[in-house]
Amino acid sequence: MNASNLDRRAFARLFALGGTGALLGHPRIRELTAAPTAPLRGRGREVDWAAVRSRFLMPEELSVLNAANLCPTPRPVIESVTGDTDRLDRSPLPSIRSEMHGVKRGTRELLARYLRADPGEILITRNTSEANNWVSNGLVLGPGDEVLIFSDNHPSNNLAWKAKSERFGYTVREVAQVNPHPGSDYYVAAFERALTPRTKVLTFTHLTNTSGDLMPAAELCRIAAERGVITLVDGAQSFGLLDVDLSVMQPDFYSGSAHKWPCGPKEAGVLFVNRRVQDRFWPSIYSAYAGETELARRHEGMGQRDEPAIRGFGRELEFLLDIGRPEIEARSRALADAAIEGLAGLDGVKLWTSVDPSLRAAVVTFQPGALDPSRTVEALEADGVVAASRGGQDRPGIRFSPHFYNSFEDVERGVAAIRRYLRAGL
Ligand SMILES: Cc1ncc(COP(=O)(O)O)c(C=O)c1O
């Protein structure tokens, strides 16, 4: 039995024994009641998740299980963004404007530290969609070239490559996703078979937003590099959740958004560009106010930016680094384990996400019997649970994506609601 099972069962036992007195003393209840200024770590240096949760503004009775879509931002970062915005608007002095133009440097350094890369390999974009599109715009490809995509990639990746193939004349080939996750070896072999001497680019999603499949990123980057194929890893669902180490993964490009798992401001994102491909990567935008490194001078001339958001992005990364990357990953995984265990025990639920922790992380999708996905999300919202739905014929259902700010009660509330709907209808 893992730690999360213990947590959930201990909690259920406390409920069974009854009595708010017992419950209030339980560590999971204390999680919800810490002061917003309590230190993030206890005396033994362990993370105090109650203190972490207290930095967020959501009311206790709202269980936000939707990190794969949009994460809440903690109070100190909101204060930084609104404080800087306020200052810029009250005193739009040249000295303050030039100070704000300088904030990219600090955020770039933090991004490099966070992803274990070099500041000279980091671009600050507006989100993953933009980062992915900079790559599909910026490589010189033409007739005779092939781009290999994964069918479960996001439209900002697959739609972009397909639309641009019509303009530039290259061919797009696709490796199909398989559900349930067939294992890392399956995908390594499938991509290896699909690579041809004409393949110039291979792009896949590190952790899919559909079934929450974790792809063997380092292996896929390795087989591509051995063949001189450029890799774009879409990290929208892994950046801020997993303890990503780009020095180990070794992609050519890696993209991410601040507003998803990192819990940063909206309209800020990252594109890692490996030094080895920088001379083959053309800018998408030419304008004023470029960044301070050689790479950023070429690519970040994007005109006026939301610099308070860029500084806030850096502050958020400091917050995550204070908590700890491994700690965040372990906490989110434990919450997802609890969701999977609870959902797997419900009659009628079909999990699209693998139960094997090595093939997933904290994106959990499932079909709740014959219940309509969008109506189920409405019912969940009415019951204080925020989730996402997926319609259509391909793996329809509900997505729970818990993150480090959640408590085990949040997960329990989501699972209990699904149990009720399955029994009594919506
Ligand atoms: C895998 C993946 N890539 C890209 C995106 C696009 O992210 P953004 O809207 O931040 O550009 C998403 C959004 O859900 C995603 O899940």
The pTM score is 0.92
CB 179 within 8 A of CB 211: yes
All structural domains of the chain: 26-73+325-424 (3.90.1150.10), 79-321 (3.40.640.10)
- pLDDT band for 21, please (50, 70, 90 cuts): very low
Q: Which residues of 287-324 are buried (b: 16+ CB within 10 A; e: fewer)?
A: eeebbebebbebbbebeebbbbbbbbbbbbbebbeebb
The answer to whether the CB of 66 is under 6 A from ligand 1 is: no
Ligand 1 center to residue 160 CA distance, Å? 13
CA dihedral of 99, 104, 110, 114, whole degrees rounded to 10: 160
| Mutational pocket test of ligand 1: of 136, 206, 209, the residue with most ligand atoms within 8 Å of the beta carbon | 209
Ligand 1 center to residue 176 CA distance, Å? 19
pLDDT tens-digit map of 237-265: 999 999 999 999 999 999 999 999 999 99
Copy the structure tokens of residue 354: 């693998």
Report helix angle 325-344 to 3-17, nearest 10: 60
pLDDT tens-digit map of 294-351: 999 999 999 999 999 999 999 999 999 999 999 999 999 999 999 999 999 999 999 9
Nearest atom in ligand 1 to the alpha carbon of residue 132 is 4
> 3-class SS at 379?
helix
pLDDT tens-digit map of 259-298: 999 999 999 999 999 999 999 999 999 999 999 999 999 9
Predicted pLDDT at 16: 39
pLDDT tens-digit map of 177-198: 999 999 999 999 999 999 999 9
Nearest atom in ligand 1 to the alpha carbon of residue 205 is 1
Does residue 13 register a pLDDT over 70? no
CA-nearest of 397, 361, 371 to 181 is 361
Residue with tokens 């800020």: 268
